[in-house]
Amino acid sequence: MEFETVIGLEVHAQLATSTKMFCNCSIEFGQDPNLNTCPVCLGLPGALPTINETAVKYAIMLGLATHCSIRKDSQFARKNYFYPDLPKAYQTSQFDRPICENGWVEIEVEGKKKKIGITRIHMEEDAGKLVHDGGDRTASYVDLNRAGTPLVEIVSEPDIRNSAEAKAYMEKIHSIVTYLDICNGNMEKGNLRCDANVSIRPFNQSEFGIRTETKNLNSFRNVQDAIEFEIERQIELTFEGDPIIQQTRLWDANQKTSKAMRSKEDSDDYRYFPCPDLPIVLVDDSLIQQLKAQLPELPDVKQLRFQSQYALGEKDASNLVANKKIAEYFEETVENGAEAKQTANWILSDFSRLLNENKVEIDECKIKPNALASLIQLIADGVISSKIAKTVFEEMFASGNAPDKIVKEKGLTQVSNEDEIKSICQKILDENPSQIDEFKAGKVKVLGFFVGQVMKQTKGKANPQLVNKLLNDLLSC
């Protein structure tokens, strides 16, 4: 039997406000436990919440950027459940009147574009954190600094059909929230995370199968791996004749496996009801228009502009715009005079590799756009070969020194002096008479051997085009 996979993602994004969702406490990370708390976020009786206006504006901006309709009278609701890190014993969230609904984002997988529907985006607050490495090893400690941190939850339609699409969707959401500057997008810290709902069904079946929800996936890789694992698990169960149980599962990224956490509540179990302490969130047209006007250029639009303005291919453009900082870095390098395609090549290959290996963001690294532009210019001017340029680049990355300084200090200037290279070529030919015979007997591949010897002799500094030409000249006389 062939199965089709059905996936819907629920993405939580922490809003980059300075204060919490319903009180004035700071959301600054890394404070002493329970320092950022007050009667409201501690859930003390009688404390009254107020709504963070910036958080509401951020949620609306996200809705506009994802083609949602914006509800003009959205409402907060209490989602009741009992957790030790949830002091009120309910989470203030939204239920039947979320701020944004019925949107979509476009993803691209292997050159195929597809729209993924967004059911809703609602505002809510984060819970606190349990700490198990405090003084008493048998006790659980609770840190409520995070309690009340503003979140948006973005719920997708079950439109996703495989793990690659899920990853592309997550990447798209990441790029949109970071372009909007409403979330820092740091997945490792959990500031953007996702729950993956997965089910399978026979291809000829129209109803959906029973789904599981794998929680708190905090990297693109984890999203993809957890979904693949879950698809396999469900297919195996089905072949064994075992039922799939609706449940919440927890991904273990080290073991690359998930385990059941609890059987999944239905929304009835949460006994939602409108929060009596908070007013309806009234949004008028003028606010929507004002926020629309403030939206930055978003990734899809930027990609099209990159393709036309810089004559880049779709793939290069899409890779560059996926990360806002990289897109900005690219444009700044080009503004500094570097050729666009060369710039894209550098950024998307050697540069990205080094950034990944060293786990640094492009705007934090030692190479500034003007320095990359100078390096690219040095190659264009024939001062260094592109091979030597890679060495210079690594050195720039490590030391932050300017490329011309590195080239000068290390004596890496490309040798383009014809006489100088000619005499080295002659020397190499003189030393290898048998290879000359082979060449003359028709084994043209031997030319590569000679070029290699010359490059070795000049420590890679000879201009390769010139070496090729001179060797050919010498061999043909």
155 binds, among ligand ADP, Zn ion, Mg ion, none (CB under 5 to 8 A by kind): ligand ADP
Nearer to ligand ADP, 7 or 312 (CB): 7
Closest CA relative to residue 174, chosen from 163, 164, 186: 186
- Interface with ligand ADP, residue 267, by CB under 6 A: yes
Q: For the packed helices 433-440 and 464-475, what is the interaxial angle rounded to 10 degrees?
A: 80
By the 8 A CB rule, do 321 and 299 touch?
Answer: yes
Q: Which DSSP string do the residues of 381-398 spell out, in sequence order?
A: TTSS-HHHHHHHHHHHHH
Nearest distance from residue 239's CB to Zn ion, in Å?
51
Restricted to residues 13-72, the positions that interact with Zn ion (CB under 5 A) are 23, 25, 38, 40-41
Nearer to Mg ion, 153 or 300 (CB): 153
375 binds, among Zn ion, ligand ADP, Mg ion, none (CB under 5 to 8 A by kind): none
Nearer to ligand ADP, 207 or 419 (CB): 207
Nearest distance from residue 41's CB to Zn ion, in Å?
3
- Interface with ligand ADP, residue 64, by CB under 6 A: no
Restricted to residues 5-44, the positions that interact with Mg ion (CB under 5 A) are 10
Burial 220-254 (b: 16+ CB within 10 A, else e): bebbbbbbbbbbebbeeebeeeeebeebbbebeee
Size of the site for ligand ADP (CB under 6 A): 16
Identify the burial level of 468 via C-beta atoms within 10 angstroms of its C-beta, where 0-12 means exposed, 13-18 middle and 19 or more buried: middle
By the 8 A CB rule, do 215 and 261 touch?
Answer: yes
- Residue window 113-142: x/- pattern of binding to Zn ion, with contact defined by CB under 5 A: ------------------------------
By the 8 A CB rule, do 115 and 136 touch?
Answer: no
What does DSSP assign to residue 42?
T
Q: What is the SS3 assignment for 327?
A: helix
197 binds, among Zn ion, ligand ADP, Mg ion, none (CB under 5 to 8 A by kind): ligand ADP
- Which residue number places its CB atom closest to ligand ADP? 8
327 binds, among ligand ADP, Mg ion, Zn ion, none (CB under 5 to 8 A by kind): none
By the 8 A CB rule, do 64 and 171 touch?
Answer: no
Nearest distance from residue 404's CB to Mg ion, in Å?
56
- Residue window 95-134: x/- pattern of binding to ligand ADP, with contact defined by CB under 6 A: ----------------------------------------
What does DSSP assign to residue 349?
I
- Amino acid making up residue 8: G
Nearer to Mg ion, 160 or 321 (CB): 160
Nearest distance from residue 267's CB to ligand ADP, in Å?
6
Compute the 3-state secondary structure of the chain and give helix, strand, coil in percent, each to the nearest 5: 40, 20, 40
Nearest distance from residue 25's CB to Zn ion, in Å?
3
- The whole-angstrom separation of Cα 434 and Cα 443 is 12
- The whole-angstrom separation of Cα 207 and Cα 223 is 24
25 binds, among ligand ADP, Zn ion, Mg ion, none (CB under 5 to 8 A by kind): Zn ion
- Interface with ligand ADP, residue 464, by CB under 6 A: no
Nearest distance from residue 195's CB to Zn ion, in Å?
26
Nearer to Mg ion, 248 or 413 (CB): 248
> In which residue are the tokens 């490309």 written?
414
- Which residue number places its CB atom closest to Mg ion? 10
- Interface with ligand ADP, residue 277, by CB under 6 A: no
- The whole-angstrom separation of Cα 58 and Cα 297 is 16
Number of helices (H), then strands (E), belonging to the chain: the values are 16, 16
By the 8 A CB rule, do 431 and 402 touch?
Answer: no
Nearest distance from residue 202's CB to ligand ADP, in Å?
14
Nearest distance from residue 9's CB to ligand ADP, in Å?
6
- Residue window 132-161: x/- pattern of binding to ligand ADP, with contact defined by CB under 6 A: -----------------------xxxx---
How far, CA to CA in Å, does 347 sit from each of 76, 328, 340, 344, 393?
44, 11, 11, 5, 11
Size of the site for Zn ion (CB under 5 A): 5
Strand partners, 120: 101, 155
By the 8 A CB rule, do 369 and 332 touch?
Answer: yes
Nearer to ligand ADP, 125 or 395 (CB): 125
- The whole-angstrom separation of Cα 253 and Cα 242 is 26
Nearer to Mg ion, 28 or 265 (CB): 265
Q: Which DSSP string do the residues of 409-431 spell out, in sequence order?
A: HTT---B--HHHHHHHHHHHHHH
Nearer to ligand ADP, 66 or 343 (CB): 66
Restricted to residues 4-43, the positions that interact with ligand ADP (CB under 6 A) are 6-10
Q: Find the binder of ligand ADP among 122, 146, 193, 211 (CB under 6 A).
A: 211
Q: List interacting residues with Zn ion (CB under 5 A).
A: 23, 25, 38, 40-41
Q: List interacting residues with Mg ion (CB under 5 A).
A: 10
Q: List interacting residues with ligand ADP (CB under 6 A).
A: 6-10, 155-158, 197-199, 208-209, 211, 267
